[in-house]
Chains A and B, each alone.
Chain A
């Protein structure tokens, strides 16, 4: 309701402005108030005043109800009297020259306009650029809370310089929660200079000295602007209000013309609001599922964890949650993502032109950042879905300085499984939970601290004999320090751990528990330097220490005969230095050149097998075993990673961009399944396993139509990958003391074209994309391993050439909106039987060459209806319902096609994961 009043009052104010200018001359001295006002309501007080004095009061009913006046005054002006009454409340007052009195909550109404408000715009600009500004506000504007769009902010100290440039920097924050706003676009129109706020909400602009109108645009926030007069370098923090109406809009990117003018290519930013609109199978908002709808991102199938970005394998994605690496981004065999939607703020995916700051994975960087928590008041949010429920609480510890956010999520799928009257289900267990915390603290203007933690645990037991458990543990601590407007640094310490164990107790003699774990400790220092308006420098260094327990097997029953076994621990250090410069050569041409140099050293203590050179590594070619002492270097790899990109603006609404980048990867996931399985292990490079290297060139054309409301982009890429790990036939991944004998270094290539048309505003919004892409693998070196498919290129497991995706949202009214999504893709390649033979007991299958056939094509339609509760601001809780149908047409999309020998015969089967329309209903609330 306050919003309504505020709007109403502002409108009223505007009406009276005209009067202000006209009657300004006739202003007389303010009348004084005397009298005793004892224990009366504010309403009575006002009525008494209005009868005696020429004031007119405007206020909310709530003010009248909640305030009690109890004072005696003798000849004091109204402003002092009101100050006394309103002291200790969050009401503010404003008195106009027409003796109108406005009582508002929190922010007082500005009753006067900047003196040059009505002057001709051109003149104003000339004034501000040529001469000392005519208007000098009395109050200190710098570093003060921003109050209005029409107020003029004076930045820096006037030093007589009327030409040249000065730097303006500051932080963008949400006016309601105090959280920083990421990716908002801040720009002036003439000359056209703009930037986007970074992940801390920080922006830095180099502008000509003088008067400017600063425009601020961001997803889900009201468009706003600030009038500034820039004298010299200074700071301006801006608070932006949430735009309630935009709740239902699909907006993929914050910056409207970033598509064309941004230098970055192959990058997608998803806001949590967008993510929440896409229907999912279990009604739970799933970040990874939405990322999978983006062009260039694919997965093997519906039940599959992990994603394949531009032909890369699932282990080639650096998934960061607040800068800490997440090794397993999913729950429950990939049906849920590991990220709780209530605590996530945004997701950024880099498919090409990966910034030099990142490294260590070949294909992509997925950066997930969690919200900081409300710095102003306590609030909460939650949801109740078919299989999961979640609750998030947040609030200030020290108002406007320190906030905490804690979010948790759990499932009751275990209970559901028990309800199924089928033995193989009711003997199964499946459950998970995750907890996120985020504490942010602003020490002072120049220093901020962020502490985040994440914990997830899964356990599942299929058909009663084997219990799988896995967990992620992550923590990060960030210290952001602003040296001055043009330079800031971030020091980040991270810890990540992923581990799982498998225990089997069915047969006492074989009862054992096998476990695996990988831990990494990282330290990173990043500097951001804006020397002038043409350059932006990023530089820094990072170091990661890995410790891997590749596996240990321990009997877990007293009768167990299992021999305790432990694979040797692996240790390594990966470090990197980087420097990149973004150089705006002209209005039209910008280039970014970066170099990252990474080093990797595998460390002892370990005994390393050595194999005869020139022969495939196998048990028969072992020539020696070399022991390395603790901390001794086993193998060292290093190399440069180039990151180059350029943008050339063709016209106001079109541009071309080109990029080249090289990445190196030193940790590898071992898996012999097509999808990411919970039992996949990670392996560090060493003297027998080389690092992977990938190069990518990309070219793109971008065009915005209809005043930046429709974006079109076309990107083509070609990618080479060397030495990524493929598996020899029948590779044994678990508890293998010589894993190098079961893997082989393969080479890969991928190429494709991605077209995307996106409409981000209006009643109807969403995007349509088409991707043509191929991914090929070759294993042709007989000195490395067996040759697959005679050494020819063959399609990789996730090669799906054609892909069409449509995500659309139509808003009927403020409260009702629908989402309709459509996905089509070519079926994934599989190895099919070519023939059969009889082995004396059973018919068995004879396979074709690897990946020579495809499963049938995939298509799916999802529909969702979002119903918002009413938009009253002052409700106990805001709630919304989402009713959705996943796979509306009920198409049995095959996940796999397989042939099995059963009772001596060969039977062919097609397995689909969600072969029916799946209706879901979710209740979300926020307080």
Chain B
């Protein structure tokens, strides 16, 4: 919080009243009594279906969630049609191209390595309309992204979105040199590029919307996310891929409750955390808790790009900075500096002679963008 008119006593007073209300807190270790089966993913009615089976962990367990390997995972239709999924590692089971009929109901059947059987309820196959548009605006000090959608057939009503963000970035120092085999030389075409890279991120929040209270089955300007103006994401070029799914009313309610319980809390009027009832059940032990909610839907996607040049001129966009240092050739320490790759030469330093007398250099993190992202240009990048 920046205080511009700090001399105003009222500001001080109000700050005193309002500040410091929320602080991090972790109660004494709470032990999870058992680890429950977690079922992630959805039945893609028209394409690749990927289901991940994990186990829940205790709260202070910092390791990766344990995966449920070697399970049998099958998509079953009410009339007995069956599609097996094959394991692809880390608890993930996949069907490369599932085609589900919208007039049938399907369920997910799981048998774990230990022989426990689980099955979801038979769920209706929903079909998502195409995404009408994904828009962005530079509003206030943020780039805000909105999604618009519409179902002329008036059948969707409940929507869910996920997105993948990808952005281009550069390191603080642009190196034209490379240290190789004890020598400093100029970078060439064949050398791996380290000055422009890409990073990706997936959405973490539950984004759901409904049109039941509207006169048309239409979602207008649902706000997906807002990126602050000084974020690295919008410093060069940014792209977002929005995925849209259709939900049943029950699935929407489940996700809405999950969102309330785990995201929209911390206000004066918090709803009470409530128990979530999954539509996946253990067939062996009806009392067993299973986490997840199985849905069957088609997926629609749309990608847009935001170039930093289109952002307001007066925004001071993110600009990486790093310390730069110099090593003189005459010091005889060039090899010593650059061996090991922690420090990387950036440019040559000239004295009066045509030959360089030394090199500027920075740490690898300041020079090599592959330390944070990938230098492989994504296929969709334009």
> Do residues B260 and A909 form an inter-chain contact, with CB atoms below 8 A?
no
| Chain B residues whose C-beta falls within 8 Å of the C-beta of A420 in the assembled complex | 11, 14-15, 18
How many Å from the CB of A619 to the closest CB on chain B? 9
| Chain B residues whose C-beta falls within 8 Å of the C-beta of A728 in the assembled complex | 274
Of A838, A898, A904, A912, which contacts B21 at CB under 8 A? Answer: A912
Q: Mark the stretch among A26-34, A42-50, A844-852 that contacts chain B.
A: A844-852
Cα A561 to Cα B151 in complex, Å, equals: 14
- Given A507-B223, A786-B275, A838-B54, 5 further pairs, Cβ under 8 A: A303-B268, A561-B211, A835-B30, A839-B292, A840-B52
Q: Which of A892-927 contact B (CB under 8 A)?
A: 892, 894-904, 906-916, 918
Q: Which of A791-849 contact B (CB under 8 A)?
A: 797, 831-842, 844-848
| Chain A residues whose C-beta falls within 8 Å of the C-beta of B253 in the assembled complex | 730
How many Å from the CB of B166 to the closest CB on chain A? 16
A110 interface residue, CB < 8 Å from B? no
B78 interface residue, CB < 8 Å from A? no
How many Å from the CB of B129 to the closest CB on chain A? 16
Cα A727 to Cα B5 in complex, Å, equals: 47
> Do residues B30 and A834 form an inter-chain contact, with CB atoms below 8 A?
yes
Known contacts A786-B275, A786-B277, A916-B20; decide if A421 and B2 are in contact (CB<8 Å): yes
Known contacts A729-B277, A898-B266; decide if A509 and B25 are in contact (CB<8 Å): no
| Chain A residues whose C-beta falls within 8 Å of the C-beta of B192 in the assembled complex | none
Among A417, A675, A911, max chain B CB count under 10 A is at A911
Q: Mark B246-270, 1 if CB is under 8 A from A, else 0.
A: 0000000100111011110110111
Of B13, B25, B59, B269, which contacts A906 at CB under 8 A? Answer: B59
| Chain A residues whose C-beta falls within 8 Å of the C-beta of B17 in the assembled complex | 914, 916, 918
> Do residues B57 and A562 form an inter-chain contact, with CB atoms below 8 A?
no
| Chain A residues whose C-beta falls within 8 Å of the C-beta of B65 in the assembled complex | 837-838
> Do residues A509 and B14 form an inter-chain contact, with CB atoms below 8 A?
no
Q: Which residue of A lies closest to B220 (CB)?
A: A509
| Chain A residues whose C-beta falls within 8 Å of the C-beta of B204 in the assembled complex | 841-842, 901-904
| Chain B residues whose C-beta falls within 8 Å of the C-beta of A894 in the assembled complex | 25
Known contacts A562-B213, A846-B32, A846-B36; decide if A910 and B22 are in contact (CB<8 Å): yes
- What are 24 residue pairs bridging A and B, where the CB atoms are less than 8 Å apart in the complex? A333-B268, A419-B5, A420-B18, A509-B221, A553-B213, A561-B214, A563-B213, A677-B268, A729-B276, A730-B260, A834-B33, A835-B36, A836-B58, A838-B40, A838-B65, A896-B266, A897-B27, A898-B265, A908-B26, A908-B27, A909-B266, A912-B21, A914-B17, A918-B16
| Chain A residues whose C-beta falls within 8 Å of the C-beta of B170 in the assembled complex | none
Among B8, B59, B277, B291, max chain A CB count under 10 A is at B59
Cα A591 to Cα B150 in complex, Å, equals: 72
> Do residues B214 and A845 form an inter-chain contact, with CB atoms below 8 A?
no
Q: Which of A471-521 contact B (CB under 8 A)?
A: 507-510, 512
A416 interface residue, CB < 8 Å from B? yes
Cα A797 to Cα B25 in complex, Å, equals: 20
Q: Mark A839-875, 1 if CB is under 8 A from B, else 0.
A: 1111011111010010000000000000000000000
| Chain B residues whose C-beta falls within 8 Å of the C-beta of A303 in the assembled complex | 268
B272 interface residue, CB < 8 Å from A? yes
Known contacts A386-B13, A837-B36; decide if A673 and B269 are in contact (CB<8 Å): yes
A609 interface residue, CB < 8 Å from B? no
Among B27, B59, B258, B272, max chain A CB count under 10 A is at B272
Cα A260 to Cα B180 in complex, Å, equals: 97
Cα A896 to Cα B23 in complex, Å, equals: 11
Q: Which residue of B lies closest to A911 (CB)?
A: B22
A674 interface residue, CB < 8 Å from B? yes
A223 interface residue, CB < 8 Å from B? no
Cα A853 to Cα B273 in complex, Å, equals: 13
B185 interface residue, CB < 8 Å from A? no
Cα A679 to Cα B271 in complex, Å, equals: 12
| Chain B residues whose C-beta falls within 8 Å of the C-beta of A847 in the assembled complex | 261, 273, 275
Q: Mark A545-584, 1 if CB is under 8 A from B, else 0.
A: 0000000010000000111010000000000000000000
> Do residues A910 and B18 form an inter-chain contact, with CB atoms below 8 A?
no
B94 interface residue, CB < 8 Å from A? no
> Do residues B35 and A835 form an inter-chain contact, with CB atoms below 8 A?
yes
Number of residues on chain B facing chain A (CB within 8 A): 78
Of B25, B211, B220, which contacts A897 at CB under 8 A? Answer: B25
| Chain A residues whose C-beta falls within 8 Å of the C-beta of B35 in the assembled complex | 835
A788 interface residue, CB < 8 Å from B? yes
| Chain A residues whose C-beta falls within 8 Å of the C-beta of B54 in the assembled complex | 837-838
B interface residues (Cβ-Cβ under 8 A, vs A): 1-5, 8, 10-11, 13-27, 30-33, 35-36, 38, 40-41, 52, 54-59, 61, 65, 140, 162, 202-205, 211, 213-216, 218, 220-221, 223, 253, 256-258, 260-263, 265-266, 268-277, 291-292
A425 interface residue, CB < 8 Å from B? yes
Cα A915 to Cα B2 in complex, Å, equals: 21
Cα A371 to Cα B59 in complex, Å, equals: 57
| Chain A residues whose C-beta falls within 8 Å of the C-beta of B291 in the assembled complex | 837, 839, 846
A159 interface residue, CB < 8 Å from B? no
Q: Which residue of B lies closest to A303 (CB)?
A: B268
How many Å from the CB of B291 to the closest CB on chain A? 6
Q: Which residue of B lies closest to A735 (CB)?
A: B213
Cα A895 to Cα B33 in complex, Å, equals: 27
> Do residues A835 and B214 form an inter-chain contact, with CB atoms below 8 A?
no
| Chain B residues whose C-beta falls within 8 Å of the C-beta of A904 in the assembled complex | 204
Q: Which residue of A lies closest to B65 (CB)?
A: A838
> Do residues A836 and B56 form an inter-chain contact, with CB atoms below 8 A?
yes
A672 interface residue, CB < 8 Å from B? yes
How many Å from the CB of A513 to the closest CB on chain B? 13
> Do residues B24 and A909 form an inter-chain contact, with CB atoms below 8 A?
yes
Cα A624 to Cα B312 in complex, Å, equals: 60
Q: Which residue of A lies closest to B6 (CB)?
A: A421
How many Å from the CB of A835 to the closest CB on chain B? 3
Cα A848 to Cα B30 in complex, Å, equals: 10
Q: Which of A776-794 contact B (CB under 8 A)?
A: 786, 788
A651 interface residue, CB < 8 Å from B? no
How many Å from the CB of B218 to the closest CB on chain A? 6
> Do residues B40 and A839 form an inter-chain contact, with CB atoms below 8 A?
yes
> Do residues A845 and B261 form an inter-chain contact, with CB atoms below 8 A?
yes
Question: Which 5 pairs from chain A and chain B are nearest by CB?
Answer: A729-B274, A835-B32, A910-B25, A509-B220, A730-B257
| Chain A residues whose C-beta falls within 8 Å of the C-beta of B61 in the assembled complex | 836
> Do residues A900 and B263 form an inter-chain contact, with CB atoms below 8 A?
yes
A61 interface residue, CB < 8 Å from B? no
A51 interface residue, CB < 8 Å from B? no
A66 interface residue, CB < 8 Å from B? no
Q: Which residue of B lies closest to A854 (CB)?
A: B27
How many Å from the CB of B280 to the closest CB on chain A? 13
| Chain A residues whose C-beta falls within 8 Å of the C-beta of B262 in the assembled complex | 844-845, 899-901
How many Å from the CB of A642 to the closest CB on chain B? 34
| Chain B residues whose C-beta falls within 8 Å of the C-beta of A915 in the assembled complex | 20-21
| Chain A residues whose C-beta falls within 8 Å of the C-beta of B271 in the assembled complex | 672-673
| Chain B residues whose C-beta falls within 8 Å of the C-beta of A892 in the assembled complex | 20, 23
Q: Which of A646-689 contact B (CB under 8 A)?
A: 672-675, 677-679
> Do residues B58 and A835 form an inter-chain contact, with CB atoms below 8 A?
yes
| Chain B residues whose C-beta falls within 8 Å of the C-beta of A730 in the assembled complex | 253, 256-257, 260, 274, 276
Cα A839 to Cα B22 in complex, Å, equals: 27
| Chain B residues whose C-beta falls within 8 Å of the C-beta of A911 in the assembled complex | 21-22, 266
Cα A674 to Cα B31 in complex, Å, equals: 25
How many Å from the CB of B243 to the closest CB on chain A? 11
| Chain B residues whose C-beta falls within 8 Å of the C-beta of A673 in the assembled complex | 269-272
Q: Which residue of B lies closest to A831 (CB)?
A: B273
Of B8, B14, B266, which contacts A900 at CB under 8 A? Answer: B266
| Chain B residues whose C-beta falls within 8 Å of the C-beta of A675 in the assembled complex | 268-269
A192 interface residue, CB < 8 Å from B? no
| Chain B residues whose C-beta falls within 8 Å of the C-beta of A786 in the assembled complex | 275, 277
A89 interface residue, CB < 8 Å from B? no
Q: Which of A740-780 contact B (CB under 8 A)?
A: none
> Do residues B24 and A907 form an inter-chain contact, with CB atoms below 8 A?
yes
Cα A123 to Cα B30 in complex, Å, equals: 81
Q: Which of A399-420 contact B (CB under 8 A)?
A: 416-417, 419-420
